[in-house]
Structures are given as structure tokens and as C-alpha cells.
């Protein structure tokens, strides 16, 4: 892998279009006071975001994973996200045997906004995409159309741990 290919990949992992955009953000951040710096994740308050259902994967924030997209609507969703440089919503299906999930009950209520880092079309027509989880979000309602989309609500991450969580973590570590 060349240096320029590595730089392009790093930019995509951060959810940006290319290395030039990342370099400009880095340069801009170098001239800003620390208090005014923002997360590089895209604005997640969008009312409509393309949805990709997953049968056998639960994506988490900051996780990088390869997904295989074979269903036509899902492939259209990923291709549209790539061409418009926008994130997608990855949500686990409740039942893997459901080939065309199109109701709110067919999905788990929490998904992850993800940026598409890279993609390859396989010989069988399936799309292999590398995605990076950005932020958890709650699924509010589905929007049916040319591709499946969803209305979402952000989920605020808890920064601290409760006393119960600390005690359970300690118990697990002690058992281990």
C-alpha cells in the first residue's frame, strides 16, 4: 500500500471524503483554541438517514467491520451513501430469516451511524463494504421509498460508570 493510499484510507476511517479534507481539518484545528474543537463525525441530527439491515452483525461506535450487502435495496442504499458522501444507519434485524424487513418491529431499536470507508463489488454481485461505527442512535420510524431510510434520535453516551457497573466490572475481572 502506498503512502497516498494509506492517507486516503485514514481520511475515510474518520468519515471524510479524502485526504485533502482531513488535512484541511487538521490545519484548521491547529489554529483553533482547544475549547472550540468539535468531533469530526457528521451532523447526526438529520431526520432521514439511509438504513442497512444486518442479519448477523451488531456494529458498535468506533468499530471497523466488513459487511456483505447482497440485497438490492441495501446495495442501493450503500451506493447512494458513497456517491453522496453521507453516513448510513446500520441496524440489526430481529429475525435473520426475514429477507425484506420493512417494519419497525423487524429491527432492534438501537443502531449505529456509520461511515463507508471502502467498498468492492464481488463476482456474485454482492457488495463488500468496510464501515466505521460513529455513534449510537435510536430508531424512531422507517421511511420506505427507493431505498429504506429511518428517522432517528441521538442517544447520549454515558461518560461515567454507576456504582453498580463498577462493582459488576470488578466481579467479572476477579472471576477472570
Q: Mind giving me the DSSP string for 131-170? A: EEEEEEEEEEEEE-SSS-EEEEEE-PPP-S--HHHHHHHH
Q: Model-level pTM?
A: 0.63
Whole-number average pLDDT of the chain: 79
Judged against a pLDDT cut of 80, whether residue 24 lies above it is answered with no
Place of cell 435473520: 96
pLDDT at 159 (0 to 100) = 63
In this prediction, residues 133-141 reach a mean pLDDT of 90
Judged against a pLDDT cut of 80, whether residue 44 lies above it is answered with no
What's the CA gap between 115 and 133, in Å, rounded? 7
Percent of the chain with pLDDT over 90: 6
What contacts 24+ positions apart, CB below 8 Å, involve 15-24?
Answer: 15/40, 15/41, 15/42, 15/87, 15/115, 15/132, 15/134, 16/40, 17/85
> How is residue 95 written as a grid cell?
429475525
Q: What are the domain boundaries of the chain? A: 1-40, 41-154
pLDDT at 35 (0 to 100) = 40
pLDDT at 45 (0 to 100) = 46
In this prediction, residues 38-66 reach a mean pLDDT of 73
Judged against a pLDDT cut of 60, whether residue 121 lies above it is answered with yes
pLDDT at 91 (0 to 100) = 92
The matching CATH number, chosen from 3.40.1080.20, 2.30.130.40, 2.60.40.420, 2.40.37.10, for 41-154 is: 2.30.130.40
DSSP H helical ranges for the chain: 3-13, 19-30, 72-83, 163-175
- Neighbour tally for 121: CB within 10 Å: 13
- Contact between 148 and 167 under an 8 Å Cβ cutoff? The reply is no
Q: pLDDT tens digits for 101-111? A: 878 888 888 99
- Contact between 13 and 117 under an 8 Å Cβ cutoff? The reply is yes
Residue of higher predicted confidence among 67 and 23: 67
pLDDT at 110 (0 to 100) = 92
pLDDT at 75 (0 to 100) = 84
Percent of the chain with pLDDT over 70: 86
Closest CA to 116 of 26, 46, 52: 52
Amino acid at each position: 500500500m502506498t503512502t497516498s493510499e494509506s492517507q486516503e484510507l485514514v481520511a475515510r476511517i474518520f468519515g471524510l471524503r479524502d485526504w485533502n479534507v482531513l488535512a484541511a481539518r487538521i490545519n484548521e484545528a491547529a489554529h483553533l483554541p482547544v475549547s472550540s474543537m468539535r468531533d469530526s463525525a457528521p451532523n447526526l441530527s438529520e431526520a432521514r438517514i439511509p438504513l442497512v439491515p444486518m442479519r448477523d452483525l451488531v456494529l458498535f461506535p468506533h468499530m471497523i467491520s466488513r459487511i456483505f450487502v447482497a440485497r438490492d435495496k441495501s446495495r442501493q442504499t450503500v451506493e447512494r451513501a458513497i456517491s453522496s458522501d453521507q453516513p448510513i444507519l446500520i441496524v440489526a434485524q430481529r429475525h435473520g430469516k426475514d429477507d425484506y424487513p420493512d417494519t419497525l418491529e423487524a429491527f432492534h431499536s438501537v443502531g449505529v451511524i456509520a461511515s463507508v470507508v471502502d467498498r468492492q463489488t464481488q463476482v456474485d454481485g454482492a457488495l463488500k463494504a468496510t464501515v466505521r461505527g460513529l455513534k449510537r442512535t435510536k430508531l424512531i420510524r422507517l421511511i420506505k421509498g427507493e431505498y429504506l431510510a429511518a428517522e432517528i434520535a441521538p442517544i447520549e453516551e454515558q461518560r461515567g460508570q454507576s456504582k453498580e457497573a463498577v462493582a459488576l466490572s470488578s466481579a467479572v475481572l476477579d472471576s477472570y
